[in-house]
Chains A and B, each alone.
Chain A
């Protein structure tokens, strides 16, 4: 029996993908180029992503019951479809590598300062293999269970951040805007997270108004994310560039005695869960695309190959987050733009021109 994923689980997955990496180092990186206007440019990139999401939802509705690979092979034929899936696989793989490293750095900077890469990698990679083995439904259920805790953590950080935030720090708006707009593409890699919808094609139990629900939930989440950026800048102003973990640093609103301790550690632990889930989402998506590309390969081999590859990439980058940032802003920049925005746009445009044949409908159903 084919098990389906509920629309609620899909919404939660998309929201976690939207938030996980964007509330750590990204405000710091963006502020170096965009200063106090980070929230405007984040909104701009989020809206671009939202348009991609609408395209994917359109595809999902039009080709109801078909997997993404089936849709793409219907448009381009089997060989080209495999190449496209390979492109998406590399994209998710790069995201998984970034998330793997971010989670390590996050733990290493905040909780376990003497944490070795082996102590971190071994259990995480084992869990990732298990995630892939157990399939999408189990993973989506895990996300559903953890989601309330993550929301609570995020709201707690935002609320505490508001206390000493000075809204005037956002002024003047769009000073030297031209220069800032030219550097917006540098941060494309941190966006495009709605593509994680790809492995879920044909696996969603869609109820009435599914697309509307997803779109509205994501719009609200984008508003919250932009509000978070506003709070972060209002709180830290120029010195945002020395805050590498925005969400946990924001809890340290003012110094407190050691008797109280570090309140931010609660949130660090909560956000670790979010990061691991985000890592899992991208890992599962990469393995899905990998399997579609190299079809007869067994699931366990796919996950083992990906685990070794993730580890090798991180070895190559020496578990240094800034090496990855350089890679993401340099070598991966055009690739991520092509996969995030151009490829979905092309597929969407073709789907507009192409009519779905009757036998495909019956086959999918």
Chain B
């Protein structure tokens, strides 16, 4: 004992213990003073902003582990403050994984909303950005009724979409990089809810049901709809919405989208006759090179896709077709696949040139690899946004078969 009391380290440990123990014991549970937020929704209304917060219920006996609460204010920070005041807890954003913003707020400007998000003490740069066509509250409530985080639903596209979508979810970090960079445009996911009448609570395939049914008979419920549409945010404001087909076309440009699908209709070669063919793109690699030739900008995209056959639909199915997985793709088929990808790329090109949005980071590539020529070129343009309309695109597609 004497030795212990002479030991400086022991005395220090004792001192720290004496100081901290009463403080720690007297403190209330942190879950009573702080809400663990998993997603935040922001709606623009006539009065200002409406903020909806999906948070974790820290009780084991409740039916659902998540709940949504709402606050109003003239700014996002005021609305969050009002939520805190009303529910008597501080909003903790360390576990927030998604921010969903309605159309009105997106059109008015994302930057003022994002400004609140990035100024939160905890790191929120990896939060996913989503645009909801209707109220973000409906989407969050749908996810809450499913007892699932919004991020999990959006990330597992197979659950919430009619078809699997191959898109890269954009984060707050991506948003600011586009805003501060040379492109000023970014494409974020659009999701929506729709009313669905179900019988006996069975959810329709391909969509996530917003209500768990325990009683039989027809009932109304809401489902989250994620058809893969993209919202084009330019200079912080939503300017355009792409259809699912346009989004699929654009996905070929995105190097972070590494999977995909290709459909060929009415295809005929030695093996198939007027067949409908579906292919999975197992992996995709994009190689981009840019250069100026005779003072004109050239953007060369080389895509290497590893493809496997997913489904064949043909009226007269021969035995050979069942063995298709083992057969080598015919030159006609490879050529048709290349043409299909090429036409999708060209469609996307026509669209972004016509609407002057650079979500493929074209200007950024030229700034990186040909900084002098790029600076010289844009100095003659009325606006930096016009640059993409002057770029000449060329595509090289390489198809490899996975057997």
User: Is the C-beta of B36 less than 8 angstroms from some C-beta in chain A?
Assistant: yes
Least CB distance from A126 to B in Å reads: 6
User: Is the C-beta of B128 less than 8 angstroms from some C-beta in chain A?
Assistant: yes
Contacts of B326 in A (CB 8 A): none
Q: If the complex has contacts A252-B123, A255-B98, are A175 and B176 also in contact, measured as CB distance less than 8 A?
A: no
Complex CA distance for A254 and B168, rounded to whole angstroms: 11
Complex CA distance for A175 and B370, rounded to whole angstroms: 12
Complex CA distance for A109 and B125, rounded to whole angstroms: 14
Whether B97 contacts A168 by the Cβ 8 Å rule is no
Contacts of A248 in B (CB 8 A): 123
Whether A249 contacts B125 by the Cβ 8 Å rule is yes
User: Is the C-beta of B38 less than 8 angstroms from some C-beta in chain A?
Assistant: yes
Contact check: which of B12, B118, B125 meets A126 at CB < 8 Å?
B12
User: Is the C-beta of A365 less than 8 angstroms from some C-beta in chain B?
Assistant: no
Contact check: which of A123, A242, A245 meets B176 at CB < 8 Å?
A242
Contacts of A245 in B (CB 8 A): 123
Q: Which residue on A lies nearest to B368, using beta carbons?
A: A171
User: Is the C-beta of B122 less than 8 angstroms from some C-beta in chain A?
Assistant: yes
Q: Which residue on A lies nearest to B181, using beta carbons?
A: A238
Binds A, one of B15-23, B42-50, B343-351: B15-23
Contact check: which of A122, A169, A259, A262 meets B19 at CB < 8 Å?
A122
Q: Tell me the chain A residues, 237-294 only, with Cβ under 8 Å from chain B.
A: 237-239, 242-243, 245, 248-249, 252-259, 261-262, 264
Bin the interface of chain B by size.
35 or more
Complex CA distance for A245 and B121, rounded to whole angstroms: 11
Complex CA distance for A108 and B173, rounded to whole angstroms: 22
Q: Tell me the chain A residues, 126-142 only, with Cβ under 8 Å from chain B.
A: 126-127, 130, 133-134
Q: Which residue on B lies nearest to A108, using beta carbons?
A: B121
User: Is the C-beta of B394 less than 8 angstroms from some C-beta in chain A?
Assistant: no
**Could you list which residues of chain A lie within 8 angstroms of chain B, going by C-beta atoms?**
108-110, 113, 119, 122-123, 126-127, 130, 133-134, 168-169, 171-172, 175, 236-239, 242-243, 245, 248-249, 252-259, 261-262, 264
Whether A113 contacts B126 by the Cβ 8 Å rule is no
Whether B126 contacts A252 by the Cβ 8 Å rule is yes
Least CB distance from B272 to A in Å reads: 40
Q: Tell me the chain B residues, 35-75 only, with Cβ under 8 Å from chain A.
A: 36, 38, 56
Whether B122 contacts A113 by the Cβ 8 Å rule is yes
- Knowing that A238-B181, A257-B97 touch, tell me 15 more A-B residue pairs with CB under 8 angstroms: A119-B23, A126-B15, A127-B12, A172-B371, A175-B371, A242-B176, A243-B123, A245-B123, A248-B123, A249-B123, A249-B125, A252-B126, A255-B169, A257-B149, A262-B95
Contacts of B212 in A (CB 8 A): none
Contacts of B169 in A (CB 8 A): 255
A-B contact list, 15 entries, CB within 8 Å? A109-B122, A110-B122, A168-B365, A171-B369, A175-B371, A238-B176, A239-B173, A239-B176, A239-B180, A242-B176, A243-B125, A255-B97, A255-B127, A256-B97, A258-B56
Complex CA distance for A135 and B95, rounded to whole angstroms: 43
Contact check: which of B98, B118, B128, B369 meets A242 at CB < 8 Å?
B118
Contact check: which of A130, A134, A253 meets B126 at CB < 8 Å?
A253
Complex CA distance for A54 and B171, rounded to whole angstroms: 45
Contacts of A172 in B (CB 8 A): 367-369, 371
Q: If the complex has contacts A134-B8, A253-B126, A258-B36, are A113 and B177 also in contact, measured as CB distance less than 8 A?
A: no
Q: If the complex has contacts A123-B19, A239-B177, are A258 and B118 also in contact, measured as CB distance less than 8 A?
A: no
User: Is the C-beta of B282 less than 8 angstroms from some C-beta in chain A?
Assistant: no
Whether B8 contacts A254 by the Cβ 8 Å rule is no
Least CB distance from A341 to B in Å reads: 33
Q: If the complex has contacts A130-B12, A257-B151, A258-B97, are A239 and B125 also in contact, measured as CB distance less than 8 A?
A: yes
Contacts of B12 in A (CB 8 A): 126-127, 130
Whether B126 contacts A258 by the Cβ 8 Å rule is no
Contacts of A238 in B (CB 8 A): 176-177, 180-181
**Could you list which residues of chain B lie within 8 angstroms of chain A, going by C-beta atoms?**
8-9, 12, 15-16, 19-20, 23, 36, 38, 56, 92, 94-95, 97-98, 118, 121-123, 125-128, 149, 151-152, 155, 169, 171, 173, 176-177, 180-181, 365, 367-369, 371
Q: Which residue on B lies nearest to A242, using beta carbons?
A: B118
Contacts of A127 in B (CB 8 A): 12
Whether A168 contacts B95 by the Cβ 8 Å rule is no
Whether B149 contacts A236 by the Cβ 8 Å rule is no
Contacts of B177 in A (CB 8 A): 236-239
Contacts of A175 in B (CB 8 A): 371
Q: Which residue on A lies nearest to B173, using beta carbons?
A: A239
Whether A254 contacts B126 by the Cβ 8 Å rule is yes
Least CB distance from A171 to B in Å reads: 4
Whether B371 contacts A236 by the Cβ 8 Å rule is no
Whether B371 contacts A264 by the Cβ 8 Å rule is no
Complex CA distance for A262 and B38, rounded to whole angstroms: 12
Complex CA distance for A108 and B365, rounded to whole angstroms: 39
Contacts of A255 in B (CB 8 A): 97-98, 126-128, 151, 169, 171
Contacts of A242 in B (CB 8 A): 118, 125, 176
Complex CA distance for A255 and B168, rounded to whole angstroms: 12
Least CB distance from B55 to A in Å reads: 10
Whether B125 contacts A252 by the Cβ 8 Å rule is yes
Least CB distance from A323 to B in Å reads: 17
Contacts of A133 in B (CB 8 A): 8
Complex CA distance for A109 and B23, rounded to whole angstroms: 21
Complex CA distance for A133 and B36, rounded to whole angstroms: 43
Complex CA distance for A49 and B182, rounded to whole angstroms: 36
Complex CA distance for A179 and B173, rounded to whole angstroms: 27
Q: Which 9 A-B pairs have the closest CB atoms?
A: A238-B180, A171-B368, A172-B371, A239-B176, A258-B95, A252-B126, A255-B97, A255-B126, A237-B177
Complex CA distance for A239 and B123, rounded to whole angstroms: 13
The CB with the most chain B CB atoms within 10 A, among A123, A255, A259, is that of: A255
Whether B123 contacts A130 by the Cβ 8 Å rule is no
Q: Which residue on A lies nearest to B36, using beta carbons?
A: A258
Least CB distance from B179 to A in Å reads: 8
Least CB distance from A56 to B in Å reads: 32
Least CB distance from A30 to B in Å reads: 16
Least CB distance from A105 to B in Å reads: 10
Whether B121 contacts A113 by the Cβ 8 Å rule is yes
Complex CA distance for A113 and B30, rounded to whole angstroms: 11
Complex CA distance for A173 and B265, rounded to whole angstroms: 48
Contact check: which of B149, B365, B371 meets A258 at CB < 8 Å?
B149
Complex CA distance for A279 and B97, rounded to whole angstroms: 34
Complex CA distance for A245 and B176, rounded to whole angstroms: 17
Complex CA distance for A357 and B329, rounded to whole angstroms: 87
Contacts of A236 in B (CB 8 A): 125, 173, 177
